[in-house]
Amino acid sequence: KDPRPGADQHDVRHMLYPFANPSHLSRHPPLVIERGAGVYVYDGNGKRYLDGQGGLWNVNVGHGREEIKEAIRAQLDRISFYSIFGGTSNRPAIELADVLCRWTAQEGMARVFFSSGGSEANEAAYKLARQYWRQVGQPMRHKIISLKRAYHGVTLGALSANGITPYRAPFEPLLAGFIQVETPHVYRNPFTTDPQALGRLCAQLLEREIEFQGPDSVAAFVAEPVQGAGGVIVPPANFWPLVREVCDRHRVLLIADEVVTGFGRIGSEMGSRLWGVKPDMMVFAKGINSGYIPLGATMANARVCDAFVTTDEALFSSNAFLHGNTYAGHPLACVAAIANLEIIEKEKLHLNAGKVGAYLMERLQSIQDKHRYIGDVRGQGLMIGVELVADKKTRAPLDLSLNVGARISDACREAGVLLRNLADTFIISPPLTFTHANADEMVDAIDDAMSQLD
């Protein structure tokens, strides 16, 4: 039992929760997580939960890792913060940049720009893309194309790139020059049931949009190697290679938003690597240090970075990338990242994610016929979505007000398994240390919860 007064009688009214309805929360207070170890987390009463969300698909190496805590403690003893604004720098940021360039050598990344999270890292990528085109004398190239159902964050630029409409509507008009094209969503699209044909078609639709906008006005195309918040949408294998060709034909920069897919989650070190593609920029956060301290990173290849290396020698010059936040390269976040990446590498967690993820998908598919609501089980590695539907044949979505997903995830929570329910799609993204036994525990809980509801 937590000895702190009020730990289990918290007043939820003092916090405005992200994306959550205050009226709902006043009737259903959130589960307060107090402690974590490995793939399990605990509430104030000591009840244990299997962490099927992995925090918020970020705790790749699991909770409470000694190696990371030790690295943070040691850095705290040296210095907790110093700025990297150029006149000064700090050693962990320099070291981590080196480590990240090694991790992404295959993709040809040359330099890292640090920030504090995924939205900021996306924002930096779009601004870097726009300034890049100015540096090379094409200031008209400013448009950013993204995918419908994309999620890139909440700052106005990242939000403008998002394709999930309910998140956009209250803030309109969003930024000019942000355009969305069709997502290759195999389960839900009006075009075809053939994945390869769909991949080709969506790449063609991107090309047509670039041509319609005028290639000389397009700065970049951004996408997630597997879409996350859009409902775990895995593109057909030909999509990314074809997108790379389209971008090359029109000299458009290709940005991979690897905030969720980077560092092992989908079974390879990088999402782009799974698709065999070298982007011009890669955007990281979450799994980069498993969320121990907020951190974002935007990486770019030599094509982009070299445009900022000029004969102008002043420290503050218009040829610098004119962007940056106080907490860029925070030393505590960077040492956490270095320790985190060492664990992923040493324990080959990307391989475990591939293996256990495939087993988990198989087990979920094995209960699909038995339960009336499971329309689709899809995913890659330990990034899995289970979409609930009203009618399996027609794929008609459920009426969200019936709360079917919420009732199933509540029953799972009762049974000690945490899942994230996003508009009747369960998002499964546990730590990459997940075992076959953990997968069994999770599927058994889902199976029982669904049987109760059936």
Contact positions vs ligand PMP (CB under 6 A) = 117-119, 122, 151-153, 224, 228-229, 257, 259-260, 285
Quote the least distance from Cβ 118 to ligand PMP, whole Å.
Answer: 2
- d(CA 259, CA 242) in angstroms, rounded, equals 22
Quote the least distance from Cβ 117 to ligand PMP, whole Å.
Answer: 3
Give Cβ neighbours of residue 160 (< 8 Å, ≥ 6 apart).
Answer: 144, 168, 174, 175, 178
Give 121 or 374: the residue with its C-beta nearer to ligand PMP: 121
Residue 191's alpha-carbon distances to 145, 157, 195, 198, 376, in angstroms, are 21, 30, 10, 7, 18
Give 152 or 371: the residue with its C-beta nearer to ligand PMP: 152
Query: What 3-state DSSP class applies to 207?
Result: helix
Give 118 or 431: the residue with its C-beta nearer to ligand PMP: 118
Quote the least distance from Cβ 128 to ligand PMP, whole Å.
Answer: 16
Quote the least distance from Cβ 297 to ligand PMP, whole Å.
Answer: 11
- d(CA 271, CA 257) in angstroms, rounded, equals 9
Give Dmax over CA atoms of the chain in angstroms.
70
User: For 87-142, what is the HEC assignment?
Assistant: CCCCHHHHHHHHHHHHHCHHHCEEEEEEECCHHHHHHHHHHHHHHHHHHCCCCCCC
Taking CB positions, which residue lies at the least distance from ligand PMP? 118
CB 37 within 8 A of CB 65: no
Quote the least distance from Cβ 56 to ligand PMP, whole Å.
Answer: 6
Give 44 or 329: the residue with its C-beta nearer to ligand PMP: 329
- d(CA 248, CA 417) in angstroms, rounded, equals 45
CB 164 within 8 A of CB 130: no
Quote the least distance from Cβ 197 to ligand PMP, whole Å.
Answer: 26
Quote the least distance from Cβ 261 to ligand PMP, whole Å.
Answer: 8
Give 135 or 380: the residue with its C-beta nearer to ligand PMP: 380
Quote the least distance from Cβ 256 to ligand PMP, whole Å.
Answer: 10
Quote the least distance from Cβ 131 to ligand PMP, whole Å.
Answer: 21
Give 229 or 428: the residue with its C-beta nearer to ligand PMP: 229
CB 225 within 8 A of CB 275: yes
The candidate with the shortest Cα–Cα distance to 49, out of 30, 66, 67, is 30
The CA-to-CA distance between both ends of the chain, in Å, stands at 36
Question: Which helix (H) or strand (E) element contains residue 157?
Answer: helix 156-161
How many Cβ atoms from other residues are within 10 Å of residue 183's Cβ?
24
Give 334 or 398: the residue with its C-beta nearer to ligand PMP: 334
Quote the least distance from Cβ 391 to ligand PMP, whole Å.
Answer: 29
- Joined together, the tokens standing for residue 447 give 């199976």
Give 161 or 349: the residue with its C-beta nearer to ligand PMP: 161
Instruction: Judge if the upstream peptide bond of residue 279 is cis by omega within 30 degrees of 0.
Output: no
- d(CA 413, CA 50) in angstroms, rounded, equals 9
Give 210 or 223: the residue with its C-beta nearer to ligand PMP: 223
Give 151 or 263: the residue with its C-beta nearer to ligand PMP: 151
